[in-house]
Amino acid sequence: MDLGTFKILNNEYAKDANNVYFLGNIDYMNSRSGTKQFFDSQTFEVMPHSYLKDKNGVYKTGEWIMEIEGANLETIKVLSAFYLKDDKNIFNGYGQKIDKADLNSFEVLGQGYYAKDKNSVYYSGEKVEGANAKTFKIISDDFYSKDDKNVYAGKEIVKGADLQTFKDISGTSYARDKNNLYYYDGNIKNLGKIDEKNFKIFNSDLIKNGNEIYYSGEKENIKNAEKFEIIKTSNDDENILYGKDDKNVYVSRSKYKRLKVIENADRDTFEVMKKDIRYSKDKNNIYFVPKSLYDEYDTYFEQDGIIKMKGADKNSFVIEKNDFSYDKNSVYFMGKKINGINSAGFKIISNLNSDFSFFLTDNKNLYKYTVDFSSDNRTVKRNLEIIKKPKVDVSTFEAIKGYSDVHYRDKNNVYYYDVHNYASDKAEELIKIEGADIATFKPLGNNYSKDKNKVYCKLKEIKGADAPSFTIIWKDTGDGDGFIIKDKNRTYKTNCE
């Protein structure tokens, strides 16, 4: 990184004279053609709505970086998240030219989902078939619109909707007219007549109409909607919601936006824990809602979508990071008890480059804990292994923070975590680095490390390397490595040579 030319462009991107950085790391573009190349830092620009540009092209960011093919770099202009234009063409957010769009009359409406020209109307970059551009108006920026004949949800006609009274319900995906309630999630749903006296909006997904509760447009099996109330909701991607009526406690999570009864939960004493909304309790039990990250592994969940932590002690219960928790008797991962580890002295040392593999300690041992999911036979396998070789000092064992958690130390030694046995023929994964100085040892990245006297690659000492001047310079080297390794005497190859 060249500090003299380093410039922050926004909260994600920065650049210097040599490189472009995304969230602190050197970035490259991966186009639809599958080719990879580094951005040109001299001409790199961040454009509105997640578009990028350099001397070689215009790009849309997302799950991958996609090139807007055929765009004129001199005249390209971002109109909204879904539309761009240059001196000859209109492009949609998928990197495609919009066929027959009229350049001179094209305009973006509202926040940018809808647009029109003198001939046509567009939604999210695609044509709304049959819409009258001359009379077209947006009702809400995200979903709803109308012309002189129809109401539209996205590109779809809302059949039977009343043109004069149709309106969106602000902050939700619901809409209404004088007769009916509607919901749009890519398809429009007519939810029937509105009970004006018993109509209530709980949040953006949850709504009451008469004695029916709807969650994301689906009718819920709640017998007494009049008594239903929300206990607590999260405002993050997990979108966890707790509610109750006069008989039951309910939970919903993430993409499964359906309210499920928490079996045998005591509604009068039920409460959500303050540290983490995924944990709750009543006078009888502690409950845990797994993250949506694991939704594909259905066998992990209890049938009601929440895990009852049987036997957990409410008075001594502690919520830890990385989905761990413990009480005076046991340690738990994602709501399930880990047999064979003591809660006394329990610590999470590090996750081993995985959400499902960890080094843990208690007051006796160092452990490797792994959880393996099989999507083929829909099973979950858990394994707790005591690390016996090498024997570490449990009370002082810790990860040495660097570019990745592969280096550890205790009061006696420095260790390298060799998960693939790349560096040694030894059977164990945790291996002592012979002669390393504990106090000055420092990971450098790319498997390199050093102390005040020596330089190492994995377990191997690099003979003759000058430790005080040894460094890794991260930059575009032109060969795809993205870094230069050197000391005051020489430049090194990236494979420890």
pLDDT band at 493; cut points 50, 70, 90: confident
Mean pLDDT lowest for which of 87-91, 108-112, 132-136, 346-350? 108-112
Q: In what order do the strands lie in the sheet with 379-386?
A: 347-351, 357-361, 366-374, 379-386
pLDDT of residue 295: 46
pLDDT of residue 373: 73
Report helix, strand or coil for 386. Answer: strand
| Cβ neighbours for 41, distance < 8 A, ≥ 6 positions apart | 15, 16, 17, 18, 19, 20, 54, 476
pLDDT of residue 472: 86
Mean pLDDT lowest for which of 7-11, 77-81, 248-252, 463-467? 7-11
CA atoms within 13 A on the CB side of 172: 23
For residue 301, pLDDT beyond 50: no
For residue 459, pLDDT beyond 90: no
- Residue 39 tokens, joined: 């951005």
Q: Hunting for tokens 């003591």 — which residue is that? A: 342
In 282-413, which ranges are E strands? 286-288, 307-308, 318-319, 324-326, 331-333, 336-338, 347-351, 357-361, 366-374, 379-386, 398-399, 407-409
pLDDT of residue 31: 54
Cα 137 from Cα 82, distance rounded (Å)? 18
- Residue 256 tokens, joined: 């499964």
pLDDT of residue 191: 94
Over residues 302-332, the pLDDT tens digits come to: 444 688 998 999 999 999 998 999 999 999 9
pLDDT of residue 447: 81
pLDDT of residue 439: 95
Report helix, strand or coil for 118. Answer: coil
Q: What angle do CA 163, 164, 166 make, to 5 degrees?
A: 65
- Residue 145 tokens, joined: 């619109």
pLDDT of residue 458: 85
Report helix, strand or coil for 40. Answer: coil
- Average pLDDT, integer, range 39-43: 88
- Residue 216 tokens, joined: 């994301």
Buried b (16+ CB within 10 A) or exposed e, 27-40: bbbebeeeeeebbb
pLDDT band at 296; cut points 50, 70, 90: very low
pLDDT of residue 194: 92
Share of the chain above pLDDT 90, in %: 55
Number of H-type helices and E-type strands within the chain: 0, 56
pLDDT of residue 304: 46
Over residues 168-206, the pLDDT tens digits come to: 998 888 999 999 999 998 889 999 999 999 999 988 888
Share of the chain above pLDDT 70, in %: 87
The dihedral formed by the CA atoms of 152, 158, 160 and 161, expressed in degrees to the nearest 10: -50
Mean pLDDT lowest for which of 382-386, 392-396, 424-428, 431-435? 424-428
Q: Hunting for tokens 């880990």 — which residue is that? A: 338
- Average pLDDT, integer, range 245-272: 86
Q: Hunting for tokens 């949609």 — which residue is that? A: 92
For residue 39, pLDDT beyond 60: yes
Over residues 229-256, the pLDDT tens digits come to: 999 988 766 678 899 999 999 998 765 5
pLDDT band at 104; cut points 50, 70, 90: very high
pLDDT of residue 421: 63
